[in-house]
Amino acid sequence: MQAIRSPLRRVALQARLPVVRPRVARPFSTAPEAKSNTTLYLGIAAAVLAGGGYWAYTSSSDTAREVGTVAKSATQAAKAATNFVPSKADYQKVYNRIAETLDEAGEYDDGSYGPVLVRLAWHSSGTYDKETGTGGSNYATMRFEPEALHGANNGLNVARGIMEKIKQEFPWISYGDLWTLGGVAAIQEMQGPKIPWRPGRIDGFAKDATPDGRLPDATQGQDHLRKVFNDQEIVALSGAHALGRCHTDRSGFEGPWTFSPTTFTHDYFKLLFDEKWVWRKWSGPKQLADKKTGTLMMLPTDYVLIQDKSFKKYAKAYADNQDLFFKDFSAAFARLLELGVPTAQFVSSEPWELKTLDEQKK
């Protein structure tokens, strides 16, 4: 979500507002040759299992992850050779486990892992570069340094740790599929819209990691994000700020956007228009506070949504109509999660809609 905040910041900083003190290796562009790849992976697996395991645990962390990736790819190839093909029901089981994990947060943030899992899905997909066709969710390269240490990814080690536990339960799923499915489950379980999703991403290697700056920031301006999304999609995706909060030890900003940061609603847009927003006076970066309570925040990139004429018309429409917002967010978020994945890799020609835990009880 940090990617949504930043590209609009330059325009927003021009706003003049009063000040108030708060009260307190391989993309498959064509179908692979199954026989040769399976043989290759099985051969690598044999080497890893025979003697490479020790190397994986005694070498550098990135090297270890690469060896693990090769081993898991070999395991997946072995399963394919024995006719193991995960079904939609298998992915529903993964979804269910993620959904069950959301409320295991305890004291973390507002008692839910949902918002941070949405952020992981966003940031692992938002690295896509349209000009080069690289990045996106296909390789899950945030597992590797230096991408894992990029400033925009601060705090996502928490989300990756949560997902790693689920990966141990379902080792056949790729990290890219797991992380994006985590975002889908989080949105849907927090009372948001259905998000169409389909599997097919593969695990990459450290060499595939994206450079810093792929998640747009103020130095690149609005046009960088507009190379991938249109204005309506940018505004719709910004609505994910209904969830979660900012942390001073991550982004430098502080506070939630809404009064219900673990429930997906259109309140983010309603608050932008209904509240009076003023610059917060503090030692941190420029952000806004609601004048009435001083407990909510907006980033300069949020406030620009009601200043820029093109953005404002969509923001107002979403403030007035939650159903419209849900529909447009669902479409934009589903497209975001597929950035960088060759169509031929997907196991289904059409995305699936997975059921929430509540739906399965009926």
Phi, psi of 122 (to 5 degrees): -60, -50
pLDDT at 225: 62
In this predicted structure, the answer to whether residue 41 has a pLDDT above a threshold of 50 is: no
What residue ranges do the domains of the chain occupy? 87-357
Name, in order, each residue with C-beta under 8 angstroms of 48's C-beta and a sequence gap of 6 or more.
56, 67, 70, 71, 74
What CATH number belongs to 87-357?
Answer: 1.10.520.10
pLDDT at 292: 97
Q: Mean pLDDT across the stretch 154-162?
A: 96
Catalytic residue among 179, 257, 277, 352, which? Answer: 257
Burial of 152 (0-12, 13-18, 19+ CB in 10 A): buried
In this predicted structure, the answer to whether residue 258 has a pLDDT above a threshold of 80 is: yes
pLDDT digits (tens, 9 = 90+) for 3-32: 455 445 444 444 444 454 444 433 333 333
pLDDT at 229: 85
pLDDT at 9: 44
pLDDT at 180: 98
In this predicted structure, the answer to whether residue 65 has a pLDDT above a threshold of 70 is: no
- Mean pLDDT over each residue of the chain, to the nearest integer: 82
Is 179 considered catalytic here?
no
pLDDT at 67: 54
Residue 51, both tokens: 């003697």
Based on its alpha-carbon atoms, the radius of gyration of the chain, rounded to whole angstroms, reads 21
Residue with the bigger pLDDT between 154 and 362: it is: 154
pLDDT at 316: 98
Residue with the bigger pLDDT between 298 and 46: it is: 298
pLDDT at 213: 86
Whether 138 and 18 have beta carbons less than 8 Å apart is answered as no
Catalytic residue among 122, 123, 277, 352, which? Answer: 123
Percentage with pLDDT > 90 across the chain: 68
Residue with the bigger pLDDT between 18 and 266: it is: 266
Specify the range with the lowest mean pLDDT, choosing from 8-17, 59-68, 272-281, 296-305.
8-17
Specify the range with the lowest mean pLDDT, choosing from 40-49, 73-82, 157-166.
40-49
Measured in whole angstroms, the distance separating CA 155 from the mean position of its chain's CA atoms is 13
Q: Is the peptide bond before 146 cis (omega within 30 degrees of 0)?
A: yes
Is 123 considered catalytic here?
yes
In this predicted structure, the answer to whether residue 36 has a pLDDT above a threshold of 60 is: no
Q: Mean pLDDT across the stretch 277-305?
A: 94
At residue 301 the predicted structure's pLDDT band, cuts being 50, 70 and 90, is confident
pLDDT digits (tens, 9 = 90+) for 310-339: 999 999 999 999 999 999 999 999 999 999
* CA distance from start to end of the chain: 33
pLDDT digits (tens, 9 = 90+) for 182-239: 999 999 999 999 999 999 999 999 999 999 988 865 334 455 567 778 999 999 999 9
pLDDT digits (tens, 9 = 90+) for 85-136: 999 999 999 999 999 999 999 989 999 999 999 999 999 999 999 899 999 9
